[in-house]
Amino acid sequence: MAYNLLKGKRGIIFGALDHDSIAWKVAEHAFEEGAKFTLSNTPLALRFGEINDLAEKTGSKIIMADATSVEDIERVIKESMEALGGKLDFILHSIGMSMNVRKDRAYDDLNYDFYHKTLDVSAMSFHKVLQVARKLDAINNWGSVVALSYVAAQRTLFRYNDMADAKAMLESIARSFGYIYGRDKKIRVNTISQSPTITTAGKGVKGIDNLIDFTERMSPLGNASADECADYCVVMFSDLTKKVTMQNLFHDGGFSSMGMSYRAMQMYNKSIEAALKDGTLDIDD
């Protein structure tokens, strides 16, 4: 059900790769809520071809960019304002990538070139988007910029690896830039910390299925889907959240506030009992 929450608003959505992408869902929901926007992704992502379907469906222009390049970001923002006929009201940063995760490098055996790239693509690019937008005076007063984060910024989760550092940096950028942009232009900058979700980036984290099962059992409301995340992004772009800024907003069914749930404990007990029975676990282990 649509509420016209983004009627008349213009934006840029970075990071829609395929139908599973969180940014894809945000584009669909923002369109339903009346927004006009451009879509941006890397030339490689565009070669997969799926983003053309989304562009057609939402009447959006696609603008290629590597988000680590300041020149590319400048071009995206300028061309977006031209295509949309004015300054922007919202930007979604939905970009993440770690070669260390992809190549299964352990956190105590990182490849430092990959590590550098992880931080540049997944965190510094957010600063670049904000800095370029501010220098070009591209966002209207009371505009809203959102990036997607993950609870590994606060807590250690096995195998999330150097992406945890990138997310911690991303959330810090939201606070530091949020102060400047809020003070000068009344522009909001926030991160939304989403539940684990099956997407191309999500599948890169080995064992994500088990993690999703665990967080589902641990969260009183269950995991948040990509569609639900898109709803939250729409609200954050709307005028209903004008005084929310510099926040990391958990969108995870309550997971981030849990220690142990009854459902997770039941599962844990079951596997201990099974392991004791088949002799794979000694009670003193």
Ligand X SMILES: NC(=O)c1ccc[n+]([C@@H]2O[C@H](COP(=O)([O-])OP(=O)(O)OC[C@H]3O[C@@H](n4cnc5c(N)ncnc54)[C@H](O)[C@@H]3O)[C@@H](O)[C@H]2O)c1
> What does the binding site for ligand X look like in residue numbers (CB under 6 A)?
15, 17, 21-23, 41-42, 45, 66-68, 94-97, 121, 148-150, 194, 196-197, 199-202
> Which CB atom, from 185 or from 216, has the smaller least distance to ligand X?
216
Helix-strand-coil split of the chain, %, nearest 5: 50, 15, 35
Residue closer to ligand X, measured from CB, 116 or 186: 116
Q: Can you read off the two tokens belonging to residue 84?
A: 């949309």
Query: How many other C-beta atoms can be found within 10 angstroms of the C-beta atom of residue 269?
Result: 10
C-beta of 139 vs 224, nearer to ligand X = 224
**CB 39 within 8 Å of CB 64:** no
Least distance in Å: CB of 262 to ligand X? 25
Judged by beta carbon, residue 22 or residue 249, the one nearer ligand X is: 22
Tell me how far, at minimum, the Cβ of 171 lies from ligand X, in Å.
11
Q: Specify the residue, 80 or 197, whose C-beta has the smaller distance to ligand X.
A: 197
Closest contact distance (angstroms) between CB of 103 and ligand X is 15
CB 67 within 8 A of CB 128: yes
Output the smallest distance, CB 162 to ligand X, in A: 12
Question: Least distance from C-beta 270 to ligand X, angstroms?
Answer: 26
Please name the amino acid found at residue 78: K
Contact 94, 149 (CB under 8 A): no
Nearest to 92 by CA among 38, 137, 166, 141: 38
Distance CA 80, CA 102 (A): 32
